[in-house]
Amino acid sequence: MKSESNLEKVLEAGKFAVTSEIGPPKSADGNVVRKKTGILKNFVDAANITDNQTAIVRLSSIAAASILLQEGIEPVAQMTVRDRNRIAIQSDILGAAALGVKNVLCLSGDHQKFGNHPSSKNVFDIDSMQLIRMLKDMRDAKKFQCGDEMDVEPRLFIGAAANPFADPFEFRVHRLAKKIDAGVDFIQTQGIYDINRFEKWLEEARSEGLTEKVYILGGVIPLKSAGAAKYIKNKVAGMIVPDSLIDRMKNAADPKQEGIKIAIETIEQLKDMKGVHGVHIMAIEWEEKVPEIVKESGLLPRPSV
């Protein structure tokens, strides 16, 4: 096994994996992380910790991951290439591994234009593809990016994102193939609302044999309101929300409950798709709904492996 992480073991055992996401606070209050951890414990196999998502400064993902370990949930530390060069990333990865972090998700990161420090200088020394390869070389060849060797390598389960809804669509499966070649172990997709487009992407990935080479966790983001659905459709680059879904939210008596229902239906569909190995539930500042979603989707109890 590459990392011995719980997530890796669950997937290796052929179980349908469940991950979720925790956004650290915009303050030094570690108790916020502890509280969110308490909500998710026993309902997920691992929880992602976002890394200054949307370029807004938050408590560090590796520090929060370390809190998760104390609280007994396995973290997936997200790592963007926006804010760190290859020196800082490798150093942080060694530190994370020393603290016991076993899963890392490699991301480009949202542009700082969207965040609370739009006048900052970005880094982008390497891209997310190169980050995957760098971590793989650190783990498997015990080598830094420069080629120098290390004694003790970080044993990591390497993840990355995939977005079947971005353009050019024809390139999206090639990009997945590239990430696999670069060394990725698992994929968490962008939130799925357009299930047809997702299936088209998956079908292509399957026919290229890619779903045999990597674990794919379908992304699910429960909607809170019709307004939120419209916002995602119009304002969040690289996402598709079909109008039928927006109408459904608009006509619902209890939109929040409808959003949960849609999420559960999506998970039910994902469970039946060949080549989907799990689900990644991103309930942004709505973590308290994750237990219900997992339970109603028939994904309890979580396996102990």
Partner 1 sequence: MDEILEMLARYERILLLGCGTCVTVCLAGGEREVGILAGQLRIHARQEGKSAQVDEHTIERQCEKEWVEEIKDRVEGVDVVMSMACGVGVQLVAEMYPEKPVFPALNTTFMGYPAQHGIWFENCRGCGNCVLHLSGGVCPITRCAKSLLNGPCGGSQNGECEIDKEIECAWQVIYDRLKKTGRLEWMNNYQPPRDWSTAGSGGPRRSVKIEEVLD
Q: Is 110 in the site for partner 1 (CB under 8 A)?
A: yes
Amino acid (1-letter code) at residue 70: Q
Q: Is 228 in the site for partner 1 (CB under 8 A)?
A: no
Q: Which residues have CB under 8 Å from 87's CB, separation 6+?
A: none
Q: Is 280 in the site for partner 1 (CB under 8 A)?
A: no
Looking at the Cβ atoms of 191 and 255, the one nearer to partner 1 is 191
Q: Is 108 in the site for partner 1 (CB under 8 A)?
A: yes
Nearest to 225 by CA among 190, 191, 259, 253: 259
Looking at the Cβ atoms of 35 and 175, the one nearer to partner 1 is 175
Looking at the Cβ atoms of 203 and 208, the one nearer to partner 1 is 208
Q: Is 111 in the site for partner 1 (CB under 8 A)?
A: yes
Residue 272 DSSP class: T
Neighbouring CB atoms inside 10 A of 272's CB total 7
What distance lies between CA 167 and its chain's CA centroid? 20
Q: Is 176 in the site for partner 1 (CB under 8 A)?
A: no
Whether 65 and 73 have beta carbons less than 8 Å apart is answered as no
- Cα separation, 111 vs 118, in Å, equals 9
Judged by DSSP in three states, 186 sits in strand
Site map for partner 1, 126-145, x if CB under 8 A? Answer: xxxxx--xx----------x
Q: Is 175 in the site for partner 1 (CB under 8 A)?
A: yes
Q: Is 247 in the site for partner 1 (CB under 8 A)?
A: no
How many residues of this chain interact with partner 1, rule: CB under 8 A? 36
Could you tell me the smallest distance in angstroms from the CB atom of residue 6 to partner 1? 27
Query: Using CB under 8 A, which of the segments 15-23, 96-104, 158-166, 294-302 binds partner 1?
Result: 158-166
Binding site for partner 1 (CB under 8 A): 82, 86, 108-111, 113-114, 122, 124-130, 133-134, 145, 161-163, 165-168, 171, 174-175, 177-178, 181-182, 190, 237-238
